[in-house]
Amino acid sequence: MVGFNTPHPFHTNDRQLNWQITGLVSTERSIEMTTINYRAEIFPEGDLYVAQCPELDVSSFGDAVDEARDSLQEAVEAFLEGCEMLDTLDAVLEESGFSKVNGTWRLGRRIVEEATATIP
């Protein structure tokens, strides 16, 4: 079972928000603290805001930015709880580009660029 607290922003800019999840991960032998830093992108789509964590392929939405962010937090928590129940949390995080540094799962550095495609 995984229990996570409210996210804490550690960096923001106009294009993306980064959040941290801290939770207790229970195993058969012990209970340990697991911290996962993940990226959240929030953008308007029609009358709603869509929030996504592209690395985990998790998304949600809300009527406002805060609501979309909170909804994504719940979706990420549910996804991670499912991974923990299946005993695949470490493998999923590693496959998604995270690495464990000093007990904290961190997303590898990303280069983000806008690109243009031309359709003839």
Find the range with the poorest average confidence among 9-13, 51-55, 79-83. Answer: 9-13
User: DSSP string of 60-81?
Assistant: EEESSHHHHHHHHHHHHHHHHH
CA 31 to chain centre: 22
CB atoms < 10 A from the CB of 48, how many?
Answer: 14
d(CA 107, CA 119): 33
d(CA 83, CA 56): 11
Q: What residues contact 24, with CB distance under 8 A and at least 6 apart?
A: 2, 3, 31, 32, 33, 34
Write down the pTM of the prediction: 0.69
Q: For 92-103, how does the pLDDT look when each residue is reduced to its tens digit (9 = 90+)?
A: 999 999 999 888
User: What pLDDT is attached to residue 13?
Assistant: 39
Predicted confidence at residue 33, as pLDDT, reads 64
Does 68 have pLDDT greater than 50?
yes
Amino acid residing at 65: V
Query: For residue range 23-42, what is the model confidence (pLDDT) as tens digits?
Result: 443 334 344 667 788 889 99
Q: CA 5 → CA 8, 33, 58, 105, 106, distances in Å?
A: 9, 12, 18, 16, 17
Q: Residue 51 has what pLDDT?
A: 95
Q: Are strands 2-4 and 17-26 parallel, antiparallel or unpaired?
A: antiparallel
